[in-house]
């Protein structure tokens, strides 16, 4: 599924980031712990250059903890990169970021100068929630829909850290089909830009293959369906999503499956592992060149 969803403010954001980056000491990239590969924006590495990067695997409570541990190990082996898994909705967890920022840029801290950070990430990975947790107050607008933040803002955290926020930036065109699906499954792409049924079938197929017990437990199934459409139909029967004549309302069932996955009601599920880098030819596409 190739998704084209690149609002004008995202292209503008890339230009703004390039202008501000010389005044930044450290980049904090927020990713979705369930899809670190697909939510790692290739534009970030290009824009940050030689600056150190703290990769935050957010929403770790929704991910498979064993696979999250693999991702932390993978990213920590990259030069100039530290990785941290957290859940911003848990009180106090975000504070771990502040000490790591000072550790990663020790010279500025030693000189008594503020560590200038920039927080980046694709839409709907919890960037605004993280900013509010770091600041200890509501500064950034939070919403469940992607692309809530529309402009940059500079925030003094009052503890030796200055934070520059950026709008969520996404690839102008995601050529990789699997990455497009995974982003859609987690909600990083606006619902209006996807087919619920198509995305739910992709998710159902993945869950049957990798997390069959979670699916059976959540929907109280006595036996595992043989395929994705059979799973949706089984959920429809359990939840009463039937039209006249006993026909399953696939759209309604699709909404149920995706919304319950996104809310963590199926348990901790990760949609990709670090092995994807070595075992696949997946490519997230090239960023659009600036005008």
**Residue 176 located in a structural domain:** no
Number of domains in the chain: 2
CA torsion, ordered 20, 23, 24, 30, to nearest 10 deg: -20
- Residue 279: the pLDDT is 61
- Residue 284: the pLDDT is 41
Answer whether 245's CB lies under 8 Å from 3's CB. no
Q: How far apart are the first and last CA of the chain?
A: 27
**Do 210 and 120 fall within a single domain?**
no
The alpha carbon dihedral of 256, 257, 261, 265 has a sign of: positive
Orientation angle between helical segments 95-104 and 127-135, nearest 10 degrees = 90
- Residue 155: the pLDDT is 83
State the number of CA atoms in the 13 A half-sphere of 199 facing the CB: 30
**Do 21 and 122 fall within a single domain?**
yes
**Do 152 and 201 fall within a single domain?**
no
- Give the other-Cβ count within 10 Å of 221's Cβ: 16
**Residue 173 located in a structural domain:** no
**Do 220 and 154 fall within a single domain?**
no
Residue after which a domain boundary falls, among 148, 165, 182: 165
Number of helices followed by number of strands (H, E) in the chain: 13, 6
**Residue 247 located in a structural domain:** yes
- Of 172, 95, 160, give the one whose Cα is nearest residue 134: 95
Residue after which a domain boundary falls, among 165, 184, 216: 165
Note the pTM of the prediction, 2 decimals. Answer: 0.84
Angle at 57 between CA 7 and CA 73, to 5 degrees: 130
**Do 61 and 103 fall within a single domain?**
yes
- Residue 180: the pLDDT is 87
Tell me the C-alpha distance between 50 and 43, whole Å.
14
**Do 199 and 156 fall within a single domain?**
no
**Do 143 and 201 fall within a single domain?**
no
**Do 140 and 229 fall within a single domain?**
no
- Residue 146: the pLDDT is 41
Give every CB contact of residue 158 below 8 A, 6+ residues apart in sequence: none
- Of 266, 278, 219, 204, give the one whose Cα is nearest residue 64: 266
**Do 216 and 88 fall within a single domain?**
no
- Tens-of-pLDDT digits for all 291 residues of the chain? 555 555 555 667 677 788 888 889 999 999 999 999 989 887 788 888 899 999 999 999 999 999 999 999 999 999 999 999 998 777 778 888 988 998 999 988 788 889 999 998 887 888 888 888 888 776 655 554 444 444 457 788 877 889 987 765 655 446 678 888 999 999 888 776 678 899 999 999 999 999 999 999 999 999 999 999 999 999 999 999 999 888 999 999 999 999 999 999 999 999 999 987 666 544 443 333 333
- Of 264, 272, 238, give the one whose Cα is nearest residue 252: 238
Q: Containing domain of residue 140, as a range?
A: 8-165
Residue after which a domain boundary falls, among 117, 143, 165: 165
CATH number of 210's domain: 1.10.1580.10
- Residue 94: the pLDDT is 80
The alpha carbon dihedral of 57, 59, 63, 66 has a sign of: positive
Question: For the chain, how many residues are written?
Answer: 291
**Residue 171 located in a structural domain:** no
Answer whether 204's CB lies under 8 Å from 212's CB. no
Give every CB contact of residue 27 below 8 A, 6+ residues apart in sequence: 44, 47, 48, 51, 52, 53, 54, 117, 118, 119, 120
């Amino acid at each position: 599924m190739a998704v084209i969803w690149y609002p004008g403010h995202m292209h503008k954001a890339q230009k703004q980031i390039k202008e501000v980056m010389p005044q930044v000491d450290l980049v904090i990239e927020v990713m979705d712990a369930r899809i670190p590969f697909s939510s790692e924006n290739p534009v970030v590495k290009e824009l940050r250059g030689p600056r150190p990067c703290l990769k935050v695997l957010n929403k770790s409570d929704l991910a498979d903890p064993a696979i999250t541990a693999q991702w932390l190990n993978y990213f920590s082996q990259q030069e100039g990169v530290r990785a941290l898994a957290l859940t911003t909705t848990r009180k106090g967890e975000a504070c771990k970021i502040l000490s790591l920022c000072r550790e990663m840029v020790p010279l500025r801290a030693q000189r008594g100068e503020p560590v200038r950070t920039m927080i980046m990430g694709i839409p709907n990975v919890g960037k605004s929630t993280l900013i509010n947790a770091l600041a200890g107050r509501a500064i950034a607008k939070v919403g469940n829909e992607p692309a809530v933040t529309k402009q940059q803002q500079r925030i003094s955290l009052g503890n030796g850290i200055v934070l520059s926020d950026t709008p969520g930036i996404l690839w102008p065109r995601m050529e990789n089909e699997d990455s497009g699906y995974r982003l859609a499954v987690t909600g990083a792409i606006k619902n209006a830009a996807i087919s619920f049924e198509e995305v739910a079938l992709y998710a159902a197929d993945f869950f049957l293959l990798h997390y069959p017990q979670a699916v059976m437990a959540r929907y109280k199934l006595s036996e595992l369906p043989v395929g994705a459409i059979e799973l949706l139909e089984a959920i429809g029967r359990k939840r009463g999503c039937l039209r006249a004549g006993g026909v399953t309302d696939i759209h309604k069932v699709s909404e149920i499956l995706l919304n319950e996955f996104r809310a963590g009601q199926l348990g901790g599920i990760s949609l990709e592992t670090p092995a994807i880098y070595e075992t696949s030819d997946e490519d997230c596409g090239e960023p659009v060149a600036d005008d």
